[in-house]
Amino acid sequence: MRTLALLLVLFVGLVSPAAAQEDRPAEAPEKLEIGISTDEIAISSDFRGADLTIFGAIEGYDPALLAQRKYDIVVALEGPKDNNTVRIKERVFGIWVNRRSMTFELVPESYSLSSTRDVETIADPAVLNGVGVGIQHIRLTPVGFVGDGSNLTEFRDAFRRLKESGGFYQRDPGGVQFISASLFKATVKLPANVPNGTHIVRAHLFRDGVFISEKALPLRVMKTGIEQMISTAAYDHSLAYGAFSVFLAALTGWLASVVFRKD
Amino acid sequence: MTVYLPIAELSVNIFIILGMGAAVGFLSGMFGVGGGFLITPLLIFYNIPPVVAVATGANQVVASSMSGALSHFRRGTLDVKLGTVLLFGGLAGATVGIWIFALLRSVGQLDLVISLLYVVLLGTVGTLMLLESIRAMRRSASNQPVSLRRPGQHNWVHRLPLKMRFKKSKIYLSVIPVIGLGFGIGILTSVMGVGGGFIMVPAMIYLLRIPTNVVVGTSLFQIIFVTAYTTVVQATTNYSVDIVLAFILMVAGVIGAQYGVRVGQKLRGEQLRALLALLVLAVGARLAVDLVVTPDDVYSVISEGVYR
């Protein structure tokens, strides 16, 4: 019976690390509160990027630790998640061909990070990996069989580099500033090509390199304007959209043959 | 002035797209070709994703073939019965082509195959046209009479069964090669975004011995329906038809074509064909170079869009 109970505890611990993490703030007195002025942003097609400001406060903080600047805050804006495939080209008979590929399961399309200082210096890589915060520490789980996994690092690095160079993944060490003792302001960048959908604002509190608590808020990004309407129609009413494209082309062709008729 | 393309998901300069459409329209009017085989590579050069370039190219060809086919219909140089038989093959081919397209896309080889097919096709057609026009220029320089192959001659094609009478074309022909030709071109329409007139017209004249006067109109007639079908199927399976891009291209294209026709009537045929051949070869060469040159980044990442 004791073994069973122990197994059960182990099992719970294994399957729900999230639950285990949520237990921790109960021990630590500190809590994080954040707020954004809106839970929905409408952006037009000429959007060239913007800053999103998030206000927050540490509750139940230790004044002595705060004075020593032992608290660190990392705020991330995670875009909608999707499977992403990284491919590598190799030369085959002189031609560059996509050869090997790896698909990562449900990674955010965009990721904008803002922190009190460089995330890498806030906590140990193991801690950051556990929380999954920081461009270098986002969970990149390959889908399917990956062999001995020796090329996992290669594909993960390529993925992060491409996302960063494409402007989808951004970081701003110093983007989180304390405006009073425990009140802070975080500025995260919305990239120009911000994906449509539900984003999550996730704030993490670290105390002296230890992860304390996390707070998340949803943020809906809605693209507006004629271009978005067309895009929505193309995906949601694809048959009507296709038929209309053909109709428009046929009409253009017919008009041209009438207008420029020679006889 | 920039315009955002909702499906290609990028901003482009509207004047460059208008210029592209007008230039290709001009050439298509001048040479009597659809222009799909030039539009798609040009769009790829301008960083439009090949998936979108192919599907949008097919949509644009609907407009150009429509205006062409209508004027042939008015002149009575269109064999509807022959076109309908071609169309049966064309629709079947386009269906198979879409399936190949989706398969290639899922394994990440679509861009490569599109480029390779264009290099082979443009290289072959360009070389044949260039050689033919040089021969014609030599002949006219030495004042030799131009010897056309007589369309009355028979070859193996005319021994096939399932013959059918096409009154307008004044020809008695097996439907097997007709459907087969339509099928092959249909695949190209789906995979490459071309109407295929530049292959169909010579094949109909030299292989099927169909009288020259009905060939262009009939091929345009079936191209309308195959490209229309391809556009709808691309829109529903790959969501890759960019209506904004297609509309800019087709408006510029049909206007450009009118001026092309006028200029084409004033220039000499063989010199014109040599020019087109050189252009076709240049586009093919550029695509070939892109395949061989070391890319800036050997890695690429795409979102699967499963949860879109």
The ipTM is 0.85
Domains and their CATH numbers in chain A: 15-224 (2.60.40.2550), 225-258 (no CATH)
Could B66 and A253 be called an inter-chain contact, meaning their C-beta atoms sit closer than 8 Å?
yes
Contacts of B244 in chain A (CB under 8 A): 227, 230
B160/B143 Cα distance (integer angstroms): 40
Q: Is B147 a domain residue? A: no
Of B228, B234, B292, the CB nearest to A95: B292
Distance, in Å, from the CA atom of A175 to the CA atom of A113, rounded to the nearest integer, reads 8
User: Residue B301 is nearest to which of A163, A235, A243, comparing CB atoms?
Assistant: A163
Mutation pick from A107, A157, A245 vs chain B, by most beta carbons of B within 10 Å, is: A245
Mean pLDDT of A152-160: 89
- Asked if residue B303 is part of any domain, the answer here is no
pLDDT at B157 over 80: no
Give the CA angle between residues B154, B158, B161 to the nearest 5°: 160
**A131 three-state secondary structure:** helix
Q: What is the pLDDT of residues A83-109, one digit of tens each?
A: 888 988 888 888 888 888 888 888 998
Contact across the interface for B243 and A250, Cβ inside 8 Å: no
**A101 contacts in chain B (CB < 8 Å):** 108
Residues 180-199, chain A, touching B (beta carbon < 8 A):
193
Q: What is the pLDDT of residue B277?
A: 87
First to last CA, chain B: 30
Q: Supply the pLDDT for residue B212.
A: 78
A78, A108 contact by CB (below 8 A)? yes
Instruction: Quick: pLDDT tens for B121-154.
Output: 889 988 988 898 888 888 877 766 555 555 455 6
Number of CB pairs, chain A paired with chain B, less than 8 A apart? 171
User: Quick check: A4 pLDDT over 60?
Assistant: no
d(CA B247, CA B21): 10
> Is B299–A162 a contact, with Cβ atoms under 8 angstroms apart?
yes
Give the pLDDT mean for A207-232: 87
**Nearest by CB to B62, which of A87, A101, A250?**
A250
Distance from CA of B162 to the nearest CA of A (A): 34
**Cβ-defined contact of A231 to B295 (cutoff 8 Å):** no
CB atoms within 10 A of CB B120: 13
pTM over 0.95: no
* pLDDT at B2 exceeding the cut of 50: yes
Residue B232 falls within a domain, yes or no?
Answer: yes
Q: Which two tokens stand for residue B77?
A: 């140089």
| Minimal-distance CA residue of chain A relative to B251 | A252
Nearest CA in chain B to A97: B112
Q: Provide the residue range defining the domain that includes B226.
A: 2-141+153-292
Q: Which of B66, B72, B112 to mutate to test the interface with A (most CBs of A within 10 A)?
A: B66
- Is residue B302 assigned to a domain? no
State whether B257 and A256 contact (CB < 8 Å).
yes
The identity of residue A18, as a single letter, is A
Query: Where is average pLDDT lowest: A177-181, B13-17, B146-150, B275-279?
Result: B146-150
Is residue B301, in this structure, part of any structural domain at all? no
* Close Cβ partners of A261 (under 8 Å, ≥ 6 residues apart): B71
Tell me how many domains chain B contains: 1
**Does residue B257 form part of some domain?**
yes
B255 neighbourhood in chain A, CB within 8 Å: 256
Span B12-61, pLDDT tens digits: 899 999 999 999 988 888 877 778 888 999 999 898 998 999 999 999 99
Tens of pLDDT, residue by residue over A187-198, are 988 887 788 889
* B307 contacts on A by Cβ (under 8 Å): 80-83
Cα A77 from Cα A212, distance rounded (Å):
19
Interchain pair B74, A254: CB under 8 A: no
Distance set, CA A233 to CA A240, A244, B3, B76 (Å):
8, 11, 18, 39
Angle between helices B80-106 and B212-237 (to 10 degrees): 40
pLDDT digits (tens, 9 = 90+) for A21-40: 444 445 677 888 888 887 88
Average of per-residue pLDDT values in chain B: 85
* pLDDT reported for residue A25: 45
Q: What is the pLDDT of residue A3?
A: 43
The answer to whether position B298 is within a domain reads no
Give A261 to chain B, closest Cα distance, Å. Answer: 8
Touching B: A residues 111-170, CB under 8 Å: 158-159, 161-163
- Identity of the residue in B66, B108, B307 whose CB atom sits nearest the CB atom of A98: B108
Determine, for residues B301 and A89 on separate chains, whether the beta-carbon distance falls below 8 Å: no
CA distance A61 to A66: 7
Check A89 against B228: CB less than 8 A apart.
no
**B297 in a domain, yes or no?**
no
A47 CA to chain B: closest CA distance, Å?
11
- Backbone φ/ψ region at A197: left (φ over 0), alpha (ψ -120 to 50), beta: left
Nearest to A249 among B6, B60, B71 (CB): B60
Residue A259 has pLDDT above 50, yes or no: yes
